[in-house]
């Protein structure tokens, strides 16, 4: 691989594998609020209007907001974005949250200062528009196409930023052209000192899992439940993979004020791409280099699949990230490129169609299903077995199989996305 292409892939990884505190959709809304308040130079606006795409609403309705003592949803995220958010922190925008700020945020909500609506005019799945008003002045900030991608900023009618959506040519030029073999080749041959930054994903996500296991009260406490069920499940690598993965997700979805390493704009995807590989490597005494290459393979596979799927879709992101971890596990088991293709096809033949019904504590269940399937797929791959081209959407060519998966998620499940949002917004809540 040429040095220029290698550097482009490293830059891509560093853009897509970044720390995040809390679920990235409400956090992105908080980030946009912080930016608008900074433009307005006001920490407590008289009115905040949020106009959001359907996918942002879906992923922000039921998830815990970090540092709030269990509060969920967009109103408190927006309030804290205004009160303590700093746009320079990016996806860690709320890391300065304090109990005092939470109380002030509750008062802002009670005072009716925050108004949230579905933006029906945008076709962009990731769209956030925040307008803040105070003392006769107004500021507007817009994020679109990426969780931290500001495209518009205005203060009292003066346009401070107007970037617009990137053209197809610009988007193509900005990202390296990946396929699974190129992902594998990069992970196996890149100089270790250029990719060992990926170890930070293991450190952050394991710390989140350990915090959750020690606390035991985040989300549905699935991780702790699995550890307590070792008499049934067994005290083994398989159980540990499931427990640590779900525990990290429990903490993140339960509102723990700590960072996890995300992948392609999702902390849960970062967890699913990291924890199975890390646990397996540690329990089988893999070398540092082997762990670095396995984590790189897992995360870059997920990034590659997300390139054609898109940031947000009706397809659960754990399908993508668990496919990455299955590749990492296969490599740790001694598999080469052929076995990786088998693992990917097994994943596509099994998990395709799992819906995303928003970010929430129950995501830990989906991550556990995903990484359980990742291990099963890797084991089958090492036996030389995989779903064949005669079965379902799997083709002989692994990249065509991946694109079949992403087409279903990005095109085929559009009606599912609308139906899911309708169900979520019209049900009777407790």
The 10s digit of each residue's pLDDT in 240-268 is: 999 999 999 999 999 899 999 999 999 99
For the cut 90, the answer to whether the pLDDT of residue 174 exceeds it is: no
- Site of tokens 């990786």: 340
Q: Are residues 235 and 339 in the same domain?
A: yes
pLDDT at 173: 52
32 occurs within a structural domain: yes
Residue scoring higher pLDDT (292 or 414)? 292
Instruction: Flag whether pLDDT at 430 surpasses 60.
Output: no
Query: Which among 118, 148, 168 is the end of a domain?
Result: 168
Are residues 221 and 157 part of one domain?
A: no
pLDDT at 166: 54
Check if the beta carbon of residue 209 is closer than 8 Å to that of residue 216.
Answer: no
pLDDT-above-90 percentage for the chain: 86
The pLDDT of residue 139? 98
Q: What is the CA radius of gyration of the chain?
A: 21
For residue 215, the model assigns a pLDDT of 86
* 247 and 368 part of one domain: yes
pLDDT band at 77 (very low <50, low <70, confident <90, very high): very high
Q: The domain that contains 202 carries what CATH number? A: 1.10.4100.10
> Is 5 inside a domain boundary?
no
| pLDDT score, position 171 | 47
Question: Does any domain span residue 377?
Answer: yes
Measured CA to CA, the distance from residue 80 to residue 267 in angstroms comes to: 20
Domain end (from 168, 193, 222): 168
Classify burial at 2, counting beta carbons within 10 Å of its beta carbon; exposed 0-12, middle 13-18, buried 19 or more.
exposed
- Residue 211 contacts by C-beta under 8 Å, 6 or more apart in sequence? 251, 256, 258
Domain check: are 143 and 220 in the same one?
Answer: no
**% residues pLDDT > 70 (the chain):** 97
User: Same structural domain for residues 159 and 215?
Assistant: no
Q: Are residues 38 and 64 in the same domain?
A: yes
Kindly state whether residue 268 falls inside one of the protein's structural domains: yes
- Asked, for residue 9, whether it belongs to a domain, the answer is no
Structure tokens at 308: 């054609």
Which residue, of 143, 168, 193, is where some domain finishes?
168
Task: Specify whether 192 is located in the same domain as 117.
Answer: no
In a domain, 359, yes or no: yes
Q: Can you give the CATH number for the domain in which 29 is found?
A: 3.30.1330
Query: Are 138 and 208 in a shared domain?
Result: no
Q: How far apart are CA 217 and CA 333, in angstroms?
A: 34
Mean of pLDDT over the chain: 94
- Assess contact for 203 and 297: CB atoms under 8 A: no
Contact at 8 Å (CB) between 84 and 96? yes
* Domain count along the chain: 2
Asked whether residue 377 falls in the same domain as residue 416, the answer is: yes
Which residues, other chains included, contact 261 with Cβ-Cβ below 8 Å and sequence gap of 6+?
17, 18, 19, 20, 200, 201, 204, 205, 267, 270, 274
pLDDT of residue 143: 97
- Residue 15 belongs to a domain: no
> Would residue 311 count as lying in a domain?
yes
209 and 327 assigned to the same domain: yes
Question: How confident is residue 181, by pLDDT bands cut at 50, 70 and 90?
Answer: very high
263 and 383 share a domain?
yes
Residue 190's domain comprises: 175-426
Same domain, 358 and 397: yes
Residue 57 has pLDDT above 80, yes or no: yes
3-state percent breakdown (helix, strand, coil) of the chain, nearest 5: 60, 10, 30
């Amino acid at each position: 691989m040429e040095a220029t292409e290698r550097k482009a892939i490293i830059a891509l990884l560093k853009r897509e594998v970044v720390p995040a505190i809390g679920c990235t959709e409400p956090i992105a809304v908080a980030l946009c609020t912080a930016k608008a308040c900074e433009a307005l130079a006001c920490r407590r606006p008289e009115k905040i209007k949020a106009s959001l795409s359907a996918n942002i609403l879906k992923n922000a309705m039921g998830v815990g907001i970090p540092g709030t003592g269990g509060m969920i949803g967009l109103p408190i995220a927006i309030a804290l974005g205004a009160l303590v958010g700093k746009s320079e922190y990016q996806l860690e925008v709320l890391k300065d949250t304090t109990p005092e700020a939470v109380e002030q945020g509750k008062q802002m909500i009670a005072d009716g200062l925050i108004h949230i609506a579905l933006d029906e005019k945008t076709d962009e799945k990731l769209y956030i528009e925040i307008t803040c008003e105070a003392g006769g002045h107004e500021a507007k900030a817009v994020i679109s196409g990426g969780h931290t991608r500001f495209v518009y900023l205005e203060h009292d009618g003066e346009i401070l930023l107007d970037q617009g959506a990137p053209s197809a040519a610009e988007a193509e030029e900005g990202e390296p052209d990946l396929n699974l073999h190129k992902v594998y080749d990069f992970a196996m041959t890149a100089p270790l000192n250029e990719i060992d930054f990926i170890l930070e994903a293991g450190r952050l996500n394991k710390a989140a899992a350990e915090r959750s296991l020690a606390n035991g009260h985040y989300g549905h406490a699935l991780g702790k439940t699995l550890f307590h069920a070792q008499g049934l499940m067994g005290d083994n690598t398989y159980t540990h993979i499931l427990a640590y993965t779900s525990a990290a997700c429990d903490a993140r979805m339960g509102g723990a004020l700590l960072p996890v390493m995300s992948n392609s704009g999702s902390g849960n995807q970062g967890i699913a791409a990291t924890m199975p590989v890390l646990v397996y490597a540690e329990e089988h005494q893999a070398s540092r280099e082997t762990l670095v290459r396995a984590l790189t393979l897992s995360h870059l596979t997920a990034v590659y699949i997300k390139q054609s799927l898109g940031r947000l879709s009706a397809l659960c992101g754990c399908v993508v990230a668990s496919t990455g971890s299955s590749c990492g596990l296969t490599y740790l088991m001694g598999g080469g490129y052929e076995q990786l293709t088998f693992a990917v096809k097994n994943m596509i033949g099994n998990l395709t169609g799992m819906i995303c019904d928003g970010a929430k504590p129950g995501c830990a269940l989906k991550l556990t299903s995903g990484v359980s399937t990742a291990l099963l797929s890797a084991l089958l791959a090492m036996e030389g077995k995989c779903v064949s081209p005669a079965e379902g959407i799997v083709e002989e060519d692994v990249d065509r199989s991946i694109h079949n998966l992403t087409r279903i998620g990005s095109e085929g499940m559009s009606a599912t996305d609308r139906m899911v949002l309708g169900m979520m917004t019209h049900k009777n809540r407790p």
